Amino acid sequence: MYELMLITNDVAEAKIWDAAGVDLLFVDLEINGKIERQGHLNTVISKHTISDVSNLREAIERSKLLVRINPFDVRTTADEVDEAIERGADVIMLPMFTCADQVQAVQDMIKGRCELYPLIETPEALSDIERLAQIKDVSGYHFGLNDMHLALNLKFMFQVMLLPEFEYATQLLKQKQVMFGIGGIARVGTGTLPAEVIIREHYRLGATRAILSRSFKDECSSANAAQEIALIRKTFAKSKTINLKENLECFKNSIESIIKNAAK
């Protein structure tokens, strides 16, 4: 199964994607430090509010409700966790953590009331993967490529997936049977780096979850949303029939080409 997440705080939009088959709808409350990290880029910095959690909880029927809180802070995180859960969060996403101790602290705050899905997007977190893989009852991890590539001074976010330490982390989680997802994807047949090439690389690495990108959402309508989601899942399922070594070479070559063209 290839689970798909989508970021929205729009009730009408949430109902469309809920019906179309999105597995997790995603309220994004993270703001602390985000403008400093990403303000110079063409990225969306969400202006969601805690009331959006309540609004989406009432609106959706099938999808789980995921809430991304702010990075770990001993002064404020417990209150954020409690309010998100009280308003109906099924899953808490912890961003920008730097070590397993912070993940464990949030898991202790949750006390079994909902799932915890930490976002590995700092080099420090990536280097602590062995301890992260041992934390009990974490529902899985997501590898965030954008902030990770900024921290590592890489030219293109998908370069993160070519790092030996990234491959090691994914294979360790796979071996330990810990679910994980990677980054985001556009519509099949689109993207500077084709979405189908990324999806097949997800399959090779063992990832079973991805975020539907801003471009995916913008290019779909209520009429074709379910069809586009089904096409992504079909592409993922058919990856087992693809030569994954050849796809990896295509993945690498495409990244090299994108970086060269950007430098011109």
pLDDT at 79: 98
User: Which pLDDT band, with edges at 50, 70 and 90, does 46 fall under?
Assistant: confident
| Concatenated DSSP letters of 17-60 | HHHHT-SEEEEE---TTHHHHHTTSS-------HHHHHHHHHH-
% of the chain beyond a pLDDT of 90 = 90
Over residues 128-151, the mean pLDDT reads 97
Residue 41 has pLDDT above 80, yes or no: no
Nearby residues of 82 by Cβ (< 8 Å), 6 or more positions away: 109
- pLDDT tens-digit readout, 147-158: 999 999 999 999
User: Which pLDDT band, with edges at 50, 70 and 90, does 262 fall under?
Assistant: confident
Q: Give the domain ranges of the chain.
A: 3-263
Over residues 240-259, the mean pLDDT reads 97
Over residues 195-203, the mean pLDDT reads 98
Strand-strand pairing, 209-212 and 91-93: unpaired
Number of neighbouring beta carbons within 10 Å of residue 177: 8
User: Which pLDDT band, with edges at 50, 70 and 90, does 45 fall under?
Assistant: low
CA-nearest of 183, 255, 185, 181 to 214 is: 185
Residue 210 in 3-state DSSP?
A: strand
pLDDT at 40: 46
> What is the Cβ-side half-sphere exposure of residue 255, based on CA atoms within 13 angstroms?
19
Contact of 72 with 43, CB cutoff 8 Å: no
Q: What does the alpha-carbon distance between residue 165 and residue 187 come to, in Å, rounded to a whole number?
A: 28
Q: What does the alpha-carbon distance between residue 250 and residue 173 come to, in Å, rounded to a whole number?
A: 25
Over residues 190-217, the mean pLDDT reads 96
- Choose which CATH entry (3.40.309.10, 3.40.50.300, 3.40.50.12780, 3.20.20.60) describes domain 3-263: 3.20.20.60
Number of neighbouring beta carbons within 10 Å of residue 220: 20
DSSP state of 70: P
Please state whether the predicted TM-score (pTM) of the whole model is above 0.85: yes
User: Which pLDDT band, with edges at 50, 70 and 90, does 33 fall under?
Assistant: low
Average of per-residue pLDDT values in the chain = 94
pLDDT at 39: 47
Q: What does the alpha-carbon distance between residue 77 and residue 96 come to, in Å, rounded to a whole number?
A: 13
Residue 173 has pLDDT above 60, yes or no: yes
| Concatenated DSSP letters of 82-151 | HHHHHTT-SEEE--S--SHHHHHHHHHHHTTSSEE--EE-SHHHHHTHHHHTT-TT---EEE-HHHHHHH
